[in-house]
Structure 1
Amino acid sequence: MSKPITLYSHATGPNPWKVAMVLEELNVPYDTKFMDFADLKKDPYEQLCVNGRVPAIEDPNTGINIWESGAIVEYLAETYDTKHELSFEKGPEKYQVKQWLHFQMSGQGPYYGQCAWFNKFHPERLAAPTERYDEQVKRVLYVLNKALTGKKYLVGEKCTIADISFVPWNEMLGFILGDKLASWDVEKNYPAYHAWHQSLLARPAVKKTWEAKQKVASGGGQ
């Protein structure tokens, strides 16, 4: 049996939880080490992740340490998804999974993050950047909805690491936008996206992981 991978995480940030979801989906043993934000920007953590962010992993089975969630997810698929349950071994689908994973990292994550900042955390309410990032979130929803129309998953006929990687940020839209989200009527205006997201939330590994996140974020234990 494999030794547990150490996953460095944080209770509230979404990116470590997509790594946890993939680990759960692949039945890879892991231990989570929850970090305080203050400890991310100093040693010993900066020796592991010079960027001072989570997630990062240490894999005692290979001796490999990696940070950046997308790189970690790709590593897990290539190292542990030997039956290609969440990936494709070859063909165009192999690269299309990478395409959507990169879109999640470059499109969804940064825009949702900035949307969260200007809607929730910036000390002043600034209309222009708030509206800009709201519109960018809508653009991501539009792209996903268009791509998923007539399909159950982003690539091929199965759920992959690409699909799962979108879940944590999508599930945080209610927190990011608050009452504003209801006016967007996501189920009506982005029906293919909505059905896809709900199907992913129903997956046992995803459901287990997100329930664990909610418990930790509410102070119910680590």
Structure 2
Amino acid sequence: MTKPIRVWVTPPGPNPWKVVLLLEELQVPYEIKSFKFEDVKKKPFIDINPNGRAPAIEDPNTDLVLWETGAIYSYLIDNYDPNRLLSYDTLKEKYHCEQWLAFQISGQGPYYGQAGWFSILHWEKLPSAIERYRNEIRRIMGVLEGWLDGREWLVGDKMTYADLAFVPYNDRLEAMLGCSEDEIWEGFPKVKDWHQRMVSRPSWKKAMDTRAKLMDEQGLTWTGMPKGVNSMAEYEAKMKAEEATNPPE
């Protein structure tokens, strides 16, 4: 019997939900260890991931601790997708899935993340930085749009883990681009249809229900900051004040 995989999660960020979504699709038992963003650089999590970024997993079935979502995705597919529900064992398709996962990790994640930072969290509005990263979002969406022309999925004839990896960041485009939901997809109808096929799945709805509950438990707004805090500068000041009042032992 498969023991549940522990998933360390800071609820606000997109990356933890990449892992939860994949586990849901694979129907692999898991348990969430939810903790606050301000604790990512502290014990016990820093012993799990010395880089201090969520998510990380602990798999009691193999005694493996792993961080970085790309590595986690490859591990889960190799060890928990024997029937190739979300993957392929044929040469071209196998490595094309890896290719698109690498593009998500190196392209979509960092650029979308920076767009979110400068558009929402950064204390100073820098139009040049906002424009740069929003343009990068459009560029990446253009790559996906061109590839999905005549295709339903990124690789082969079924949804794979490569498709799923893009969902959490694409689900936040409205905030990152600072426009309405209709405007997000202008010029990218194939990407829109592809994204909508995935977010309509029960796995994503369950993941987002879980996120909403965990965010509420921590008293956070949708941006990830505490209710009543309006910028990252205020958030950092609040964390420093709390640490000064309650220093770690």
Range of TM-score over shorter length: over 0.9
2:145–2:191: 8 Å Cα contact kept in structure 1? yes
Q: Which is further off, 211-220 or 73-82?
A: 211-220
- Number of aligned positions between the proteins: 219
5+ residue gaps in structure 2?
A: 220-249
Which residue matches 1:202?
200
Q: Deviations over 1:41-78 (max 9, x none)?
A: 12221111010000000000001110001110111000
1:34 aligns with 2:29: no
Pair 141,31 (structure 1): closer, same or farther in 2 beyond 3 Å: same
Shift of residue 184 of structure 1? 7.5
Which residue matches 1:163?
163
Pair 173,101 (structure 1): closer, same or farther in 2 beyond 3 Å: same
1:58 aligns with 2:55: no
Q: Deviations over 1:195-215 (max 9, x none)?
A: 000001112212221232233
Q: Which has the larger radius of gyration?
A: 2
Q: Which is further off, 68-77 or 35-44?
A: 35-44
Structure-2-length-normalised TM-score: 0.84
Read off the aligned partner of 1:133 and give its amino acid letter.
Y
Shift of residue 192 of structure 1? 0.4
Read off the aligned partner of 1:124 and give its amino acid letter.
E
1:69 aligns with 2:65: no
Read off the aligned partner of 1:211 and give its amino acid letter.
D
Which residue matches 2:48?
48
Once residues 80 and 7 of structure 1 are traced to their aligned partners in structure 2, the CA distance between those partners, rounded to angstroms, is: 15
Spell out structure 1 runs of 4+ moving beyond 2 A. Answer: 180-188, 214-221
Once residues 114 and 38 of structure 2 are traced to their aligned partners in structure 1, the CA distance between those partners, rounded to angstroms, is: 21
Once residues 38 and 214 of structure 1 are traced to their aligned partners in structure 2, the CA distance between those partners, rounded to angstroms, is: 19
**SS of residue paired to 1:114:** helix
Q: Deviations over 1:164-222 (max 9, x none)?
A: 01000000112333xx323982334100000000001112212221232233324499x
Pair 75,110 (structure 1): closer, same or farther in 2 beyond 3 Å: same
Aligned sequence identity (%):
45
Alignment of 1:1-222 (within 5 A): 1-177=1-177, 180-182=178-180, 185-219=183-217
Structure-1-length-normalised TM-score: 0.94
